[in-house]
Chain A
Amino acid sequence: MANQKLFVSSHAPYWHNRSSLSAKSYNIMLAALPAVIMGIFQYGPPALGVVALSVSTAMIWELIMNYVTKRQVSIGDGNAAVIGLLLAMLLPATTPWWTVVIGTFLAVVVGKQIYGGIGCNPLNPTLVSIAIIMLSWKGLLDFDEALVNYDLGFYMVYPLAALKHLGTSVVSNYSVGELLMGQYPGAIGSTFGLGLIIGGIYLILRGMIRWEISISFLAGVFLTAFLFNISDSEKYAGPLFHLLTGYTLIGAFFLATEDSSSPVNFIPMLIYGACAGFLTVLIRNIGAFVDGTVFAILMMNVANPLLDKIRPKSLGKGIKHA
């Protein structure tokens, strides 16, 4: 049998739809680009510096962890780059370099690698990092303080902070058009609402993120804000304001949809998204923090394994035959 041909044998299926994690990561980065480019356009080289440093250090931390844990090098899958990019999008342009380096360390190492790498993280790595930064260095994420030296020609007060400290009278300073076009100060990649929406719709149509989560998150924010608003419109801002400010849009399309920390069944996805939206507005309106998106999504990340127990009956389950 010396002239036998050697065939490749493996288990079925022999077809694959050719999807891959790297393609998914690059698509997410592509979808995030409009918002990032707008941020770089507005805040100039410092913003570009933060984005570049964040993406590169996230990948370096991943590489270091690959060697430390003696696993195969996984920076090619683009996941670390996505984490770095999303973290940069949540930071103001003036973030000092050391914060970015620590931030990516917290995201990639503490948020993801110590649990065993991709797929094993119970919480969204980017959000773990931003939450720790938020709690540890309060001033860094105070956008009014961070961006004090910028005058970009529009009303330079961070909308959610203004709302918190000055009340609903400030809402009239921001038109919906301005909010959509990013004409207000904030983090590098989370102010250009239209860009984020376009990116989100792109990801949904490509099947890269689960629309149920994004839509229910936005619906949760809208409904809760609406209820607060009709209960006392003097005290609480309207739903559109909440939808278009802070981290709401980036949260809906890029953060809440992180695979490992969000549910996969239909009803759990709706509950997860809606509750995250609900908590976001709750924290904003009656909590201590200016923006509640980060903690709201983290809280729901924790609830994810429990939520995902709600699932349809498998074929033939629960049937009694005579």
Chain B
Amino acid sequence: MIKKPFFGLGKPKLTYSGVRDIEGEDLKEILPSPRITLMHKSPNGDLGDLSLSIGDEVNTGQKLNLRENGGEFLTSTATGTITDISHTTGYAGQSFVSVAIEAKSKDLWDDELEKAGKNESPENVLPFLSYIPGISDLTSIIKTDNPPNTIIINGLDRDLLIATNQIIVKTEAENLAEGVEYLKKITGVKRVIFVVPPSLRMEAEQSGAEVKVIEPHYPDATPRLLMKEILDNPVSPSQSLEDLGVGFISAEAVVALRTAFVEGKMPVTKVVTVTDKNNRLTAVRAKVGTPVSDILNALNIDVSDGDRLVFGGPMSGRGIYSEDMPILHDTDAIMVQDKDQVIPAGNDPCINCGECVRACPAKLPVNMLIRLLENGLYEEAVQEYDLLSCVECGLCSYVCIMRIPIFHYIMLGKHELALTGGLEESNG
């Protein structure tokens, strides 16, 4: 935890972690787990019409279609038998179908992807790649209607205490260069920009992409802030990045693309930065679907009642409530926080000290915003105080002297608006 410095004039200065913060500056392999759980975010939580059933045999890398139609699928990361299919609820009520697999020790690779890749045409391979490690949904970049004209590869990470992408840039610079080639080929974009911290400039320059170096100040690597800083093209809150023809992809996903195209194998492993209770970082490579407990055991990290487990970093991560939770294809980090470090939120009102206003990278009037959000006035919050300009960095809650869960209120407000369709009414 980084405390407010003794001399506290001005903004909080938080810096992204880097490769040098990682133990040994290298990746540790986690042995394949005998129990793999795959999760797919599915708006339709109904388990009745699934085309998968308990007892099915699956192979590593096999595309498992969830339903007859709809195009939803999972990629098996192990060879074995399906033992359980259930429905779970995640952040903000997101609905997941989760499939547990009893894995055998030896991987039998599915060959469909290899066959599809034989005739060198990306269209055949792409349907397999929607959920490759490192990006939540690749179809946001690769699409036929309104394809992006610029792609930004993020060589930094989403949050503090994460160095997942950075260690990949450091250790897999050559694979990354090949991946960039394929990325250009399949998307047809002319401009690929690679954003890295100064320490990775050398590696990034080998990639053949246009390199932009930014100082690793949190939260500058957030897509909307990058748009403003790098492309000098701020996005209006009513627009998505895709509207402007810009796609974001992580360095890890680019390497995963290369694995699929060059090796003809589905990428089934994910690099995860694990932070223990003393804020020591370890980077591990594990199969997607490995339970958190296996990773923590392998690293000898003990957790007990009252501690906190987080997917992601300390500023914007999402708390999980069970060690059995598997890592997903977009889980960049696991953070373990000791119970002594847990700071409960306060329930006092805002005193208007203005710390949040100074900290906000999107220049929101957070002091006024929180007054409306606390009273459930979400539409007014959008119209008068620009709720939708928020870049979701969490700095407001981090600096709040009254410890108001401001970020929580903001996300709740956005969620409620999305439910009622209020997002579309907002003006740009």
Give A residues with C-beta under 8 Å from B: 4-21, 24, 74, 77, 116-120, 204-208, 210-211, 259-260, 262, 264-265, 308, 311-317, 319-321
Q: Is the CB of A17 within 8 A of B2?
A: yes
Asked if B152 is at the interface (CB within 8 A of a chain A CB), the reply is: no
Task: Kindly identify which residue among A205, A211, A316, A321 contacts B389, using a CB–CB cutoff of 8 Å.
Answer: A316
Q: How close is A236's CB to chain B, nearest CB, in angstroms? A: 35
Residues in B with CB closer than 8 Å to A12 are 310, 312, 314-319, 394, 397, 407-408
Q: Is the CB of A18 within 8 A of B312?
A: no
Q: Is the CB of A8 within 8 A of B339?
A: yes
Residues in B with CB closer than 8 Å to A317 are 236-237, 386, 389, 428
Question: Which residues in chain B, 346-362, are within 8 Å of chain A measured between CB atoms?
Answer: 348-355, 357-358, 361-362
Q: How close is B305's CB to chain A, nearest CB, in angstroms? A: 5
CA distance A118 to B404 in the complex (A): 14
Asked if B363 is at the interface (CB within 8 A of a chain A CB), the reply is: yes
Asked if B147 is at the interface (CB within 8 A of a chain A CB), the reply is: no
Which chain A residue shows the least CB distance to B227? Answer: A316
Annotate B14-53 by CB proximity to A: 1 below 8 A, 0 otherwise.
Answer: 0000000000000000000000000000000000000000
Asked if B266 is at the interface (CB within 8 A of a chain A CB), the reply is: no
Given A207-B10, A314-B364, A321-B236: A117 and B398 within 8 A (CB)? Answer: no
Given A205-B9, A315-B362, A317-B236: A18 and B304 within 8 A (CB)? Answer: no
In the A-B complex, list the 4 residue pairs whose CB atoms are closest, starting with the nearest.
A207-B8, A264-B354, A315-B362, A11-B408
Q: Is the CB of B3 within 8 A of A10?
A: no
Q: Is the CB of B351 within 8 A of A259?
A: yes
Residues in B with CB closer than 8 Å to A7 are 303, 305-309, 319-322
Given contacts A12-B319, A16-B400, A319-B428, 15 further A-B contacts (CB under 8 A): A4-B322, A10-B405, A12-B312, A15-B398, A17-B4, A117-B349, A206-B8, A259-B352, A264-B353, A264-B367, A265-B365, A308-B368, A312-B363, A315-B391, A319-B236
Annotate B55-93 by CB proximity to A: 1 below 8 A, 0 otherwise.
Answer: 000000000000000000000000000000000000000
Q: Is the CB of B319 within 8 A of A9?
A: yes
Residues in A with CB closer than 8 Å to B208 are none
Q: Is the CB of B306 within 8 A of A17?
A: no
Residues in B with CB closer than 8 Å to A313 are 363
Q: Is the CB of A13 within 8 A of B428?
A: no
Which chain A residue shows the least CB distance to B317? Answer: A12
Q: Is the CB of A206 within 8 A of B352?
A: no
Q: Is the CB of B401 within 8 A of A19?
A: yes
Given A10-B345, A13-B314, A260-B351: A19 and B321 within 8 A (CB)? Answer: no
Q: How close is B64's CB to chain A, nearest CB, in angstroms? A: 26
Asked if B399 is at the interface (CB within 8 A of a chain A CB), the reply is: yes
Asked if B239 is at the interface (CB within 8 A of a chain A CB), the reply is: yes
Q: How close is B324's CB to chain A, nearest CB, in angstroms? A: 8
Q: Is the CB of A265 within 8 A of B351?
A: no
CA distance A15 to B398 in the complex (A): 6
CA distance A9 to B91 in the complex (A): 11
Asked if B244 is at the interface (CB within 8 A of a chain A CB), the reply is: yes
CA distance A76 to B76 in the complex (A): 56
Given A5-B305, A204-B9, A315-B224: A260 and B362 within 8 A (CB)? Answer: no
Residues in B with CB closer than 8 Å to A19 are 4, 8, 355, 399, 401
Q: Is the CB of B389 within 8 A of A260?
A: no
Asked if B214 is at the interface (CB within 8 A of a chain A CB), the reply is: no
Q: Is the CB of A9 within 8 A of B321?
A: yes
Q: Is the CB of A316 within 8 A of B405?
A: no
CA distance A321 to B244 in the complex (A): 8
Question: Which residues in chain B, 380-428, are within 8 Å of chain A measured between CB atoms?
Answer: 386, 389, 391, 394-395, 397-403, 405, 407-408, 411, 428
CA distance A117 to B1 in the complex (A): 31
Asked if B97 is at the interface (CB within 8 A of a chain A CB), the reply is: no
Q: Is the CB of A15 within 8 A of B2?
A: yes
Q: Is the CB of A6 within 8 A of B305?
A: yes
Q: Is the CB of B407 within 8 A of A118?
A: no
CA distance A67 to B162 in the complex (A): 47
Residues in B with CB closer than 8 Å to A211 are 9
Q: Is the CB of B10 within 8 A of A14?
A: no
Question: Which residues in chain B, 269-316, are within 8 Å of chain A measured between CB atoms?
Answer: 303-310, 312, 314-316
Which chain A residue shows the least CB distance to B322? Answer: A4
Q: How close is B345's CB to chain A, nearest CB, in angstroms? A: 7
CA distance A204 to B318 in the complex (A): 35
Task: Kindly identify which residue among A14, A117, A204, A262 contacts B310, using a CB–CB cutoff of 8 Å.
Answer: A14
CA distance A16 to B358 in the complex (A): 16
Q: Is the CB of B352 within 8 A of A119?
A: yes
Asked if B337 is at the interface (CB within 8 A of a chain A CB), the reply is: yes
Residues in B with CB closer than 8 Å to A14 are 308, 310, 314-315, 317, 319, 335, 337, 342
Q: How close is B330's CB to chain A, nearest CB, in angstroms? A: 16
Q: How close is A79's CB to chain B, nearest CB, in angstroms? A: 8
Residues in B with CB closer than 8 Å to A4 are 322-323
Q: How close is A28's CB to chain B, nearest CB, in angstroms? A: 12
CA distance A20 to B354 in the complex (A): 14
List 29 contacting pairs A-B, 8 Å CB cutoff, sorted by A: A4-B322, A6-B306, A7-B307, A8-B308, A8-B339, A12-B318, A13-B394, A14-B314, A16-B343, A18-B3, A118-B351, A119-B348, A119-B349, A119-B350, A119-B351, A205-B9, A207-B4, A207-B7, A207-B10, A259-B352, A265-B365, A314-B365, A315-B228, A315-B237, A315-B389, A316-B228, A316-B362, A317-B237, A320-B428
Q: How close is A210's CB to chain B, nearest CB, in angstroms? A: 7
Q: Is the CB of B308 within 8 A of A9?
A: yes
CA distance A320 to B355 in the complex (A): 30
Which chain A residue shows the least CB distance to B350? Answer: A119
Q: Is the CB of A206 within 8 A of B7?
A: yes
Asked if B126 is at the interface (CB within 8 A of a chain A CB), the reply is: no
Q: Is the CB of A16 within 8 A of B403?
A: yes
